[in-house]
Every structure is written in C-alpha cells, then in structure tokens.
Amino acid sequence: MVIRIGELSQESFSQVKKDVVLLPIGSLEAHGAHLPLCTDTIIAEALAGAVSDKTGWPVMPVMQYGFVYGLREFPGSIVLPEELLQAMIIDIAKEVKRYGFRFLAIINCHIPNSAPITHALFKALTQEQIPGFNFTFPGYEEAYSKYCESKLWRPGIFHAEELETSIMLYLREDLVNLEKAKRNYPTAPITFGYYPHSWKEFSEFSVIGDPTLATKKKGELLFNFFVQNIIEILRSALENSNLGI
C-alpha cells in the first residue's frame, strides 16, 4: 500500500515508519508534441509511490515545478529558480529531521534539477547533519543499454525520447500521442556544455533522442529497474550505521 503523507491524519502520521521519507520532484516543461508538460512529475510521483508500496516508507506530495534550463524558451516550460528549489529542499529536510526520519530520499525525474538538489543536500548534511539522497534515474546507463534500442544524444542527456516515452506509455498511455513523436539528434554548438545555451538555439523540437522506438513493455521494464535500484540503495544505507541521523 502506498503511504501518502498528505492523506494521513496527524495521528496516522505519528505512527509511520521513520526510516525514510520520499520526496518526488518533477517539472512543468515542454516534452515535444507527443508527451504532456507534466511528464517528469508523473514519473517521479509514480516511482515514489511504487517504492512506498514495496517498503512502507511514506511519500510526500510531489513538487511539480523545477529548474528548467535548456528548454526554458519552449512553450509551457515554467522555470523555478535554482536558489528557491534549494531553499525549499533544505527547509523540508529540517522538518524531516524534526519528525525523526533517518533519511530524506528525493526521487527526481527532471535532470536539470539534479545539480541544485545535490547542492541543497550537501548544505543540509554539512550545516544541519541531515543525510539525504538524490535519485535522478539511478543507473540510467545500465537501464538504457538493457532496454532501449536508440542511442543517447550525449551522455547523461535524454529528454522525451525512448526512455521517458516508454515509461509514460506504461504509466499514462492516455497522455501519449506516438503519432506526433519525432526523432531528433540536433547538432549542438561547440560551446555546448560550457555556456548556458537555450536549446532553441540549435533545435526546433523539445525532444533529444528517438521516441519513435518507445513501447509500453520497455516502459514497464525501465520503471521497475529504477524502483528496485532505489530500494536496494536505501536499504543498504539503512544498514550502514555511518549514515544515520
């Protein structure tokens, strides 16, 4: 059973397991013509729910906005400043500690959120002694090589392509329109990665990779891979006495 903190009474909340609390984070961002703007949010919330269902760890309400970087100029993208995202995570971490949880586990499915999340967790750990984890598609390279047929555009950069589209087909097929999916491997400028480019400068589409190869079955395999990876890492952390609050 998924334990959603927002649906508990105060009495029920006081009785939940205090090992780990899960915080899903997504974004509102352009994902091509075939996926909804809330793709990252849907995936993050579903992953957190599946982890909760298998472990009994409670899950917080999803954070639906994130730090949108390269796709900031595409229609529908809403940018949350990274400083605000970090401040929110640090304050949530303080509350997690106040209630006696050992770990805050952030399940993030918007890649540009990852750096601000890591910086926030570093501050929470070093300034407040609150340990936390940043799970942004953990083990994606292994998952991609096992279950996807297309190639990655660049290491660590995938968006609205085979992986995300497959998972969305598995979770919310009603929101996916594969007929509008387009393969896109744009040529980026030599300064890409060294300068804060908007992807509008070199790509007509808000897709990086090949979503046309996505299937629901691949999505199920990918989704379960990430769920299991998150659980294994957290269970290992719980057994490591050096990582406790």
**Rama region for 56: left / alpha / beta (φ>0; ψ in -120 to 50; rest):** left
Look at residue 64 in the predicted model and tell me its pLDDT: 96
Say if CB 124 and CB 132 are below 8 A apart: yes
Rounded-to-integer distance, Cα 130 and Cα 160, Å: 34
Look at residue 237 in the predicted model and tell me its pLDDT: 94
CA torsion through residues 23, 28, 31, 36, sign? positive
Task: Single out the residue of 113, 130, 131, 125 nearest to residue 24, CA to CA.
Answer: 113
Look at residue 243 in the predicted model and tell me its pLDDT: 67
Task: Single out the residue of 202, 180, 221, 31 nearest to residue 111, CA to CA.
Answer: 31
Mean pLDDT, contiguous 10-residue spans, the chain (245 residues): 96 93 98 98 98 97 95 95 96 95 97 96 94 97 96 93 98 98 96 93 95 98 98 94 62
C-alpha distances (whole Å) from 132 to each of 57, 97, 117 are 14, 11, 10
3-state secondary structure the chain: CCCEHHHCCHHHHCCCCCCEEEEEECCCCCCCCCCCCCHHHHHHHHHHHHHHHHHCCCECCCECCECCCCCCCCCCCCECCHHHHHHHHHHHHHHHHHCCCCEEEEEECCHHHHHHHHHHHHHHHHHHCCCEEEEECCCHHHHHHHHCCCCCCECCECECCHHHHHHHHHHHHHHCCHHHCCCECCCCCCCECCECCCHHHCCCCCCEECHHHCCHHHHHHHHHHHHHHHHHHHHHHHHCHHHCC
From the candidate CATH numbers 3.40.190.100, 3.40.190.10, 2.30.40.10, 3.40.50.10310, the one assigned to the domain spanning 5-243? 3.40.50.10310
Task: Single out the residue of 98, 105, 114, 28 nearest to residue 59, CA to CA.
Answer: 105
Look at residue 17 in the predicted model and tell me its pLDDT: 86
Look at residue 245 in the predicted model and tell me its pLDDT: 56
Angle at 143 (CA atoms; ends 141, 147), nearest 5 degrees: 125
